[in-house]
Structure 1
Amino acid sequence: MKEVVLGIDVGTSSVKAIAVDKQGSVVAVAKEELNIYHDFPGYSEQDPDEWFEAAASCVKQLRQDEAMAEYVIKGLSFSGQMHGLVLLNEVLELLRRAILWNDTRSSEQCKQIINQLGNYVLGNPVLEGFTLTKLLWVKEHEPKNWEQAHVFMLPKDYVRFKFTNQINMEYSDGSSTLLLDPVTNEWSKETGECFGMKDIYPELVPSTAKVGHITASLARELGLEDDVAVFAGGGDNACGAVGAGVMNANETLCSIGTSGVVLSCETEEDKTMYHNIHMFKHAKMHMSYAMGVTLAAGDSLSWLKRTVFPNLDFAEIVDLAAQSQPGSNGLLFAPYLSGERTPHGDANIRGSFIGLSGMHTEADMARAVLEGITFSLYDSIAYLRETGKNISEIVAIGGGAQSEFWLQLQADIFNADIKSLRNSEGPSMGAAMIAAYGLGWFESLEACVDQFIEYGAVYHPNTERHQRYQEFYKLYQQVYPQTKDITKGLLELTRKH
C-alpha cells in the first residue's frame, strides 16, 4: 500500500482535510462547514465539539474516497484558527463554547493589561483578539467557570486532544496568547499572576513533535489503523507559511481568507514591532514572523456578495471589478466591518464607502472593496518596510490568490512581485508537510518544500499604476482618523437600543 499523510485545518468557517502522498500530490480533499454564534454585539463563539465532529467526518470522507483505495494513512497534523479560548475542567470536559479570535468583548480587559504592563506585552500589542484578554473576561464575568477551569487551549489543540487524549500546545499558537516568553520559550506565569491567573497552562511542544497516536476507539470509528501518528502542528498562519514555502528571513506571505494577513519571517526571537504588528513563533524552530492583520479581508467581499450581489459568485464579482479603473472612479472602501487590527487596533471602528455618488456603478463598488482590502494589507507592508525589512517578493495564498486580476492588483499596490502557487491548499498543506517531516519522509522542512511546493505565475508591479494607487492610498489613510469617532458613536447608539 502507498502512504499518505493528512493535514487538517480547523478554520473559522469550515474544517478542511487533505490527503497528500510522498510526492506532494493531493490525493483527496474533504470539507465540513461550521456554525458561528453571535449572541451579543461583538461576541463570536463556536462549539469545540463541532470542530472535532467536523474533523472526524472529514477523515472518514477521505478514507472512503475512491482515490484513497490504494493508500494507507500513516500520520496527520493540524493547523487552526489562532487565539480562540477553549476551557476544560478537571475531568477534561468543556466548560463553555470557545471565544474566537474575532470576538471583541474584552476591551475592558485590554485596558487593565495596558494600565499595568503597557501597550506591548512579551513582544505583542495588547488587543481583544489575544487569549489572555479572553481568560481575564471569563475570570471577571463567569466566576463559576473560572473556578472550575483546569486547563486552557486553542482550537486545533482541542481537536488534537480529542484525537489522542493528550493535552499540549505548540509554540506558534502559544506565542499568540500574550503569555509565552519569546526568549525562554516557556509560559510567562509572572504575566498571568499580575492578573490573578491560576496555573492552567498546557504543556508546550514544538510544531513537529509527535504527541501520540489516534486513540484505538477513534481509529476503529474512522476505519484507520491504530498506529496513525499525530504531530502537534501549528497556528493557521504558521502552517500557511510552511505550505507556501515561506520559512527564511525576509520571505513574505500574503494570505487573504476571512481575515487577511501579511507575514514576514524573522530570525530575532525577542523583537518587538509597533503599529500593532505581531511577533509570533514560526512552525519552523528558531524562526519567528512579523505579522499584520486585516480582520475583515475576504469577509468584506463576502459581505458585498451577500448584500449587494447575491446572484453573483465571487469570480463574477471580481470580473465586475476589473471593468472599473484604478481608484474606482474616486470611490474608497475601508474594510473595518469587524474593527481593525493593524495598524489601528480599534475594536470600535467600522467600515465605510467614501466618495460615493450617483455616478458610481456596481463595478466601481466591487473594485473599491477589493482595493480597500488590499490598501489595508498594504498598511502592514508599509510598516514592515519602515523597520528595514526588504519586501520585494510576496507569496500569495487564499481567496485573494484565486484571481489573476486580484494578484496583479496586489502587485501594483504593494509594489512587489506577487508569486502564486500552482496548487494552493493553504494551512492544511503546511500541516500535512509537518506530518510528512515528522514521519521522517524528509530530512528537513525545506526538503519537504522542494518536493511538495510548485510555484506558478509571478505578477510584476506596474510602476505607473502603483504611483496612481499611491495617490488614492494617501487618501485612504485619512479615512480612519476622520471616521473613528463617528463610527464609535454609531456603535454606542446601536448598543443602547
Structure 2
Amino acid sequence: MKYVIGVDLGTSAVKVLLVNSEGEVTAEASEAYPLHQPRSGYSEQDPEDWVRGTLAALSRVVKESGVDPQAIEGISFSGQMHGLVLLDENHRPLRNAILWNDTRTTEECRKIEQVLGEDLLRITKNPALEGFTLPKILWVKEHEPDVFAKAKVFLLPKDYLRYRLTGQIHMDYSDAAGTLLLDVANKKWSSRVLEAFGLEASFCPPLVESHGYVGNLLPEAARETGLSESTRVFAGGADNACGAIGSGILQKGLTMASIGTSGVVLSYEDNKDQDFGGKVHFFNHGKQDAFYAMGVTLGAGYSMSWFKNTFAKDKSYDELLGRVSEVPVGSNGLLFTPYLVGERTPHADAMIRASFIGLDGSHTLDDMARAVMEGITFSLNESIELFRQAGIQVNRIVAIGGGAKNEDWLHMQADIFNAEIVQLANEQGPGMGAAMLAALGCGWFDSLEACAAKFIRYEKTYKPNPERVEQYKKLFEIYKQVYTNTKSLSEQLAPFRP
C-alpha cells in the first residue's frame, strides 16, 4: 500500500493525516501551539512553534501507524491564510508572524485604497481588509522600520513550515491570492502593486502550482520525524482552497458551506475575469487554472458557542439543539444576526454587533437556539445571493464543519439556500485536500477530479422543502434590513464597549 501525508497548519493547532491510496485515513495526530495577543487587536504566533508542532505530529503518525516510511511517497500542506512571516538574508524570522485575525492595519488598508484606486480590484480582485498580507507588510514598514530594513523575503505560514522541512522557498497561487500582491487573473506578482509601495520583486517568493513538486525532506527533518529523505514534498494550498479540494468542489455548479468558528461559502469558478466588484473574495483555486468565489461570516460557529456558553453552559450541544425541530420556521418571530465580532460578507464592518430582534417574554431557550442557527445560515445566504446575482449556479452544496453534524441544521441550510445539501461520509477538511494534492503530485491520478472520485464519499443528501423555502425567503428579506437599521446604533455604542 502507498501513502501520502496531508499537513493542515491551523490557527490553534497543526493536524497531520496519513492517507492510503484508497483515500482512507490510516493515522492522524495534532499538536496545539499558543496564540500571542500582546495588545487589543493583535494576533501573533512564533513560526518555530509551527515547526516544532508539525515535527512532533509527523513523528507520532509515523510511529503509531507502523507504516514503512519508504511507503510514504509524498507530503503536502494546507495553511491558515494571509499571515506574514518576514525573513532576513539568512531566511530566519525577524519577528513573530502577524496572523489573519490581526486587526491593527486599518490605516494601512485606507492607504492601499488611496494609492491604488480602481487598480486594487482590477488586479487583486479583492478589497483591502485588515486580514490580508500587504497591510501587515506596510504596518511593519511604518512601525518597525529597523525590522523591515532587514527583511529580504516574506512567506505565508505553511510556506515557512515547508521551507523548514525542505530548505526551499516557494508560494502557491491559492495562498498568494490572499496577499493583495498577486495579479490573480494572470497568476503573477503585480509590478504595479510592488512599485506603488516600494517593494522589490525579490521580496516575493517564486510561485508554483499547489500540486507542484518543491523538493525532498532535509536530512534533519527526516531524522526527527522518522520519514525517509526520499519523501517528495509538494507546495499545497490555502486552507479554504484545500477545504474545497477535500470536499470535491472541482467543477461549476458545486459550492461548499463550512460552519466552523467562522463561516465560509465557497463556489467553484473557471472564469478568470469574473467580477464581483469586491463584494466577495475571488481567489485562485488549488486546482490549476481555476478560481473560487468566497463569502465569509466572521461569527458563524462562534455565535453558537457564545450562545451555549452564555445561556446553557451545563448543556451539551445535543441537549441544547435537541428540540429546535419542534420550533417553527422563523423561531416564533425571533431573528438573530451573528455579528458578535463584526462582519465580513457582504458588510465589511468591524463595528457592527449582533442583535436579537423581536424578543419577547414568550420566547424560550429553544426559540433562541433556532434563531441563532437561522441567523448564521441567513448570513451565509447573503454570500450565496451575491454568487447567484453574478451568474454562478448554486445547485448543490457540500456542507462541512459543525453545521454538517446536526440534521436539523442541514435541513435548514437546504431550505434557506434553496439547494441540495450534501453531507460527506469521511470529512477531514483541508488536511484531506492537502493529501489529495500530494497524491496528484506523486502521479497516483491524472487529475484532482479522478482523485476526488476515489477519496471523497458522500453520505446523505438533503433537499429543500418548497413550503419552507418560501417562508424563509420572506424572513430573509427582513433579516437583511437588520444590518442597515442597527449599523448606526452599533457605532454609537462603540465608546461604551470594554
Does TM, normalized by the shorter one, top 0.5?
yes
Aligned residue in 1 for 2:30: 31
Which SS does the other structure have where 1:420 is aligned? Answer: strand
Separation in 1, partners of 2:264, 2:403: 11
Whether the aligned pair in 2 keeps the contact of 1:128 and 1:347 (CA below 8 Å) is: no
Aligned residue in 1 for 2:101: 102
Aligned residue in 2 for 1:164: 166
Superposition TM-score, scaled by structure 1 size: 0.95
Whether the aligned pair in 2 keeps the contact of 1:249 and 1:266 (CA below 8 Å) is: yes
The more displaced of 95-104 and 319-328 is 319-328
Alpha-carbon spacing, 1:228–1:356, altered in 2? closer, same or farther (3 Å): same
CA deviation after TM superposition for structure 1 residue 128, in Å: 1.6
Q: Please give the residue correspondences for 1:434-453 in structure 2 after superposition, counting only pairs within 5 Å.
A: 434-453=437-456
1:100 maps to amino acid: L
CA deviation after TM superposition for structure 1 residue 57, in Å: 1.7
CA deviation after TM superposition for structure 1 residue 447, in Å: 1.1
Q: Please give the residue correspondences for 1:111-260 in structure 2 after superposition, counting only pairs within 5 Å.
A: 111-118=110-117, 120-121=120-121, 122=123, 123-199=125-201, 200-260=203-263
The more displaced of 77-86 and 481-490 is 481-490
Which of 340, 346, 351 is residue 348 of structure 1 equivalent to?
351
The more displaced of 302-311 and 109-118 is 302-311
CA deviation after TM superposition for structure 1 residue 74, in Å: 1.7
Which SS does the other structure have where 2:2 is aligned? Answer: strand
Q: Please give the residue correspondences for 1:264-283 in structure 2 after superposition, counting only pairs within 5 Å.
A: 264-274=267-277, 276-283=279-286
Separation in 2, partners of 1:44, 1:337: 18
The more displaced of 473-482 and 451-460 is 473-482
Separation in 2, partners of 1:162, 1:96: 16
Aligned residue in 2 for 1:285: 288
RMSD: 1.9
CA deviation after TM superposition for structure 1 residue 7, in Å: 0.6
Aligned residue in 2 for 1:49: 48
Separation in 2, partners of 1:484, 1:256: 24
Whether the aligned pair in 2 keeps the contact of 1:320 and 1:362 (CA below 8 Å) is: no
Which SS does the other structure have where 1:456 is aligned? Answer: strand
What is the CA deviation profile of residues 60-89 of structure 1, one whole-angstrom value per residue up to 9, with x for unaligned ones? 121122464798322110001111211112
Whether the aligned pair in 1 keeps the contact of 2:414 and 2:421 (CA below 8 Å) is: yes
CA deviation after TM superposition for structure 1 residue 407, in Å: 1.1
Whether the aligned pair in 1 keeps the contact of 2:70 and 2:228 (CA below 8 Å) is: no
Separation in 2, partners of 1:60, 1:135: 34
Which of 387, 395, 410 is residue 392 of structure 1 equivalent to?
395
Which of 402, 405, 408 is residue 405 of structure 2 equivalent to?
402
Separation in 1, partners of 2:65, 2:109: 50
CA deviation after TM superposition for structure 1 residue 292, in Å: 0.9
Alpha-carbon spacing, 1:376–1:34, altered in 2? closer, same or farther (3 Å): farther
The more displaced of 108-117 and 16-25 is 108-117
2:175 maps to amino acid: D
1:494 maps to amino acid: R
Separation in 2, partners of 1:489, 1:136: 30
2:225 maps to amino acid: L
CA deviation after TM superposition for structure 1 residue 306, in Å: 3.0
CA deviation after TM superposition for structure 1 residue 308, in Å: 2.7
Percent of aligned pairs sharing the same letter: 51
Unaligned 5+ residue runs, structure 2? none
What is the CA deviation profile of residues 88-137 of structure 1, one whole-angstrom value per residue up to 9, with x for unaligned ones? 12222222222222222211111112222236432112222211111112
CA deviation after TM superposition for structure 1 residue 37, in Å: 2.7
Q: Does 1:359 align with 2:362?
A: yes
Alpha-carbon spacing, 1:232–1:70, altered in 2? closer, same or farther (3 Å): closer
The more displaced of 289-298 and 408-417 is 289-298
Superposition TM-score, scaled by structure 2 size: 0.95
Aligned residue in 2 for 1:419: 422
Unaligned 5+ residue runs, structure 1? none
Aligned residue in 2 for 1:455: 458
Whether the aligned pair in 1 keeps the contact of 2:303 and 2:372 (CA below 8 Å) is: yes
Which SS does the other structure have where 1:319 is aligned? Answer: coil
Whether the aligned pair in 2 keeps the contact of 1:322 and 1:363 (CA below 8 Å) is: no
Separation in 2, partners of 1:409, 1:267: 29
Separation in 2, partners of 1:79, 1:70: 22
Aligned residue in 2 for 1:62: 61
Q: Aligned residues, how many?
A: 494
Q: Please give the residue correspondences for 1:82-97 in structure 2 after superposition, counting only pairs within 5 Å.
A: 82-97=81-96
Separation in 1, partners of 2:40, 2:270: 39
Q: Please give the residue correspondences for 1:301-320 in structure 2 after superposition, counting only pairs within 5 Å.
A: 301-320=304-323
Whether the aligned pair in 2 keeps the contact of 1:85 and 1:154 (CA below 8 Å) is: yes
Separation in 2, partners of 1:320, 1:142: 54
Which SS does the other structure have where 1:28 is aligned? Answer: strand
